[in-house]
Amino acid sequence: MKISFMVNQYARISGGNRALFEFANRLKGKGHEVRWIVLAKPIKWYRWDKKIIASIKKVIIKPPEIIDWTDNTIPIEILPANNSKYIPESDILVATAWQTADFAVKLPREKGVLFYFVLHYESLWTRYKNQALKTYDLSCQKIVCSNWIKNNLIEKHGQDADVLVIPVDQKIFYCDKKKWNARRRVCMLHHDYDWKGYEDGIKAIKEVVDQGHDLELVVFGEKLKDPQPLFDAAGFKFEYHYRPAREKLREIYASCDIFLCSSWYEGLGLTGMEAMACRCSLVTTNTGGCLEYAIDEKTALVSKPRDIISLSRNLIRLLEDEVLLKSLSEDGYRKINEFNWEESCDRLICLFTKNLKIKDAKPLDF
Which domain range does residue 205 map to? 185-336
Q: Are residues 205 and 279 in the same domain?
A: yes
Q: Are residues 289 and 329 in the same domain?
A: yes
**What domain count does the chain have?**
2
* Residue 358, SS3 per DSSP: helix
Return d(Cα 289, Cα 213) in angstroms, integer: 30
- Residue 98 within a domain: yes
Nearest partner of 74 among 64, 66, 82, 84, judged by Cα: 64
CB crowding 84-100: b at 16 or more within 10 Å, else e: eebbeebbbbbbbbbbb
The per-residue pLDDT for range 195-209, each reduced to its tens digit, is 999 999 999 999 999
Return d(Cα 75, Cα 123) in angstroms, integer: 30
Q: What is the pLDDT of residue 10?
A: 83
**pTM for this entry:** 0.92
Q: Are residues 114 and 73 in the same domain?
A: yes
Contact between residue 216 and residue 236 where contact means Cβ atoms under 8 Å apart: no
- pLDDT cut 70: percent of the chain above it: 93
The CATH number of the domain holding residue 29 is 3.40.50.2000
The per-residue pLDDT for range 113-156, each reduced to its tens digit, is 999 999 999 999 999 999 999 999 999 999 999 999 999 999 99
Cα dist. 158→12, 116, 146, 353 in Å?
A: 32, 15, 17, 24
Q: DSSP letter string over 295-340?
A: -BTTTEEEE-TT-HHHHHHHHHHHHH-HHHHHHHHHHHHHHHTT--
Q: Are residues 327 and 191 in the same domain?
A: yes
- Give the confidence band of 12 by pLDDT, cuts at 50, 70, 90: confident
Phi, psi values for residue 272, rounded to 5°? -60, -40
Q: Are residues 17 and 154 in the same domain?
A: yes
Over residues 161-173, the mean pLDDT reads 95
Q: Are residues 26 and 56 in the same domain?
A: yes
Q: Are residues 137 and 32 in the same domain?
A: yes
- Residue 175 within a domain: no
User: What residues pair up with 95 in beta bridges, in sequence order?
Assistant: 6, 116
- Residue 365 within a domain: no
Q: Are residues 111 and 248 in the same domain?
A: no
Across the chain, what does the average pLDDT equal?
Answer: 93
Over residues 26-55, the mean pLDDT reads 79
Which region holds residue 76: left if phi is over 0, alpha if psi is between -120 and 50, else beta? beta
- Residue 346 within a domain: yes
Over residues 184-193, the mean pLDDT reads 97
Nearest partner of 113 among 365, 358, 362, 366, judged by Cα: 358
Q: Are residues 295 and 352 in the same domain?
A: no
Return d(Cα 61, Cα 83) in angstroms, integer: 16
Contact between residue 250 and residue 268 where contact means Cβ atoms under 8 Å apart: no
Q: Are residues 136 and 255 in the same domain?
A: no
Over residues 306-314, the mean pLDDT reads 98
Phi, psi values for residue 84, rounded to 5°? -55, -30
- Residue 174 within a domain: no
Q: In what helix (H) or strand (E) does residue 132 lie, and over which residues does it extend?
A: helix 129-135
- Residue 178 within a domain: no
Q: Are residues 33 and 94 in the same domain?
A: yes
Q: Are residues 101 and 135 in the same domain?
A: yes
Q: Are strands 76-78 and 141-144 parallel, antiparallel or unpaired?
A: unpaired
- Residue 176 within a domain: no
Return d(Cα 204, Cα 227) in angstroms, integer: 19
- Residue 48 within a domain: yes
